């Protein structure tokens, strides 16, 4: 692919442009002959394999490095947990995890339960949007000058809780303070997006959904701080708590977790508007293997008879388990785990051509498209 003949004028212009911008390269050819900023070669897992597949449309994917991800949702839908899970997986990859907290609501035990090494976590507590971006710029420049090949994930939790310096000093009876966050974010996001594009840095923002007043048609939800983060994000997730998980604790039925639906409302790495479902337990985080079982059931890849599940392996033998033994038996059998994961990937990864779809193969829906 890289041996294709290039346009002579384009080559001349590329050489000229790259000489003009001496500090870094700006002009590329997207023919595979060189590494370019458009290449997505590194991903960080969200903690849910099924959500990773929905985002990246590839095995062993997740959120993209060098890009911005926004996690939105109502309160108690799992936003902070997924952001923390991404930080934990960053550390497992040998990277630096940075947690910028504006909510003053996180605790060390919660982070440790999700697998974060708190001794290696850089925790920063800030109040204003201006301070958040000043700190992020400082981190990015420090990494660029020192360990430019180091993987870094910066999670901001949350945009909704951050104020601006105008808000902190303004008289609420005067104009201007209500739009100050959107103005600051609009300016800051333009700059920060360019800064991370050439480095192994992932930015993750959590943001709260707000209901629009008086909306009768279309998407009734919006997020705090205007549209800047939504515009600059390569991936936007919308989380929804779909139910409670109850279990007997000390003889009493207690809520021990929540069932969560995550929709990829904006996606520049794969098809958007895909949805994953998984369980979140308060003491341990995402039940990843439980999400596998839900997919297996939904696509009839496993048979259910009463409380027993039967999976027919590639060698023709049957493997049996219950919902209680599914996770443990899968964890201890690496070969079977790989076989099932490959089957799920083959089922969920979207690979189609529009010209192969006939008019009777598609259906139209009046369901509003979430704002990406």
- Sign, CA dihedral 135-141-142-147, equals positive
Q: Residue 293: how many CA atoms within 13 Å on its side-chain side?
A: 20
Angle between helices 334-348 and 49-56 (to 10 degrees): 40
> Is 278 exposed, middle or buried, given 0-12, 13-18 or 19+ CB atoms closer than 10 A?
buried
- Angle (nearest 5°) at CA 17 between 12 and 22: 130
CB 327, CB 320: distance < 8 Å: no
The closest of 186, 128, 120, 122 to 154, measured between CA atoms, is 122
In this prediction, residue 37 carries a pLDDT of 79
pLDDT of residue 352: 63
Task: Please give the Cα distance from 358 to 1 (Å, whole number).
Answer: 32
Residues near 190 by beta carbon (within 8 Å), at least 6 away in sequence: 228, 232
Helix 334-348 and helix 288-298, axial crossing angle in degrees, nearest 10: 50
Torsion of CA 20, 23, 24, 25, to 10 degrees: 20
* Cα atoms found within 13 Å of the Cα of residue 237, Cβ hemisphere only: 30
Per residue in 304-334, pLDDT (tens digit) is: 999 999 999 999 999 999 999 999 999 999 9
Complete domains list, the chain, with CATH: 24-288 (3.40.50.300), 299-353 (3.30.250.10)
Q: How far apart are CA 102 and CA 157, in angstroms?
A: 6
Phi and psi dihedrals of 131, rounded to 5?
Answer: -65, -35
Within the chain, which residues score under 70 in pLDDT? 1-3, 170-176, 178, 352-362, 365-369, 371-372
Cβ atoms 347, 295 nearer than 8 A: yes
Q: Take residue 243 and report the two structure tokens written for it.
A: 């139910």
Give pLDDT, residue 361: 65
What is the predicted pLDDT for the residue at 219?
81
């Amino acid at each position: 692919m890289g041996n294709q003949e290039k346009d002579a004028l384009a080559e001349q212009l590329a050489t000229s442009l790259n000489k003009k911008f001496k500090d870094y390269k700006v002009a590329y050819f997207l023919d595979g002959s060189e590494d370019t900023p458009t290449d997505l070669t590194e991903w960080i897992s969200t903690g849910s394999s099924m959500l990773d597949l929905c985002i990246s449309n590839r095995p062993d994917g997740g959120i993209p490095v060098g890009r911005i991800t926004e996690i939105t949702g109502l309160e108690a839908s799992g936003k902070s947990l997924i952001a923390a899970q991404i930080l934990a997986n960053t550390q497992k990859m040998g990277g630096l995890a940075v947690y910028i907290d504006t909510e003053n609501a996180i605790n060390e035990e919660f982070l440790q339960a999700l697998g974060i090494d708190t001794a290696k976590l850089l925790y920063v507590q800030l109040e204003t949007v201006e301070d958040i971006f000043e700190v992020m710029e400082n981190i990015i420049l420090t990494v660029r000058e020192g360990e430019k090949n180091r993987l870094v994930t910066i999670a901001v939790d949350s945009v909704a809780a951050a104020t601006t310096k105008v808000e902190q000093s303004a008289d609420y009876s005067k104009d201007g303070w209500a739009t100050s966050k959107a103005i600051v974010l609009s300016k800051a996001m333009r700059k920060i997006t360019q800064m991370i594009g050439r480095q192994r840095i992932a930015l993750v923002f959590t943001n709260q959904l707000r209901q629009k007043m008086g909306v009768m048609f279309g998407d009734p939800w919006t997020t705090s701080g205007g549209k800047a983060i939504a515009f600059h994000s390569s991936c936007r997730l919308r989380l929804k708590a779909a139910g409670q998980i109850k279990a007997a604790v000390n003889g009493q039925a207690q809520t021990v977790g929540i069932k969560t639906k995550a929709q990829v409302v904006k996606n520049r790495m794969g098809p958007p508007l895909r949805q994953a479902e998984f369980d979140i337990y308060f003491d341990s985080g995402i039940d990843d293997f439980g999400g596998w079982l839900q997919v297996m059931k939904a696509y009839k890849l496993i048979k259910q008879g009463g409380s027993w599940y039967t999976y027919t392996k590639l060698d023709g033998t049957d493997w049996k388990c219950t919902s209680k033994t599914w996770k443990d038996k899968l964890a201890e059998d690496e070969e079977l785990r790989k076989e099932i994961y490959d089957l799920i990937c083959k089922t969920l990864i979207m690979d189609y051509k529009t010209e192969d779809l006939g008019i009777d193969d598609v259906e139209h829906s009046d369901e509003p498209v979430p704002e990406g």
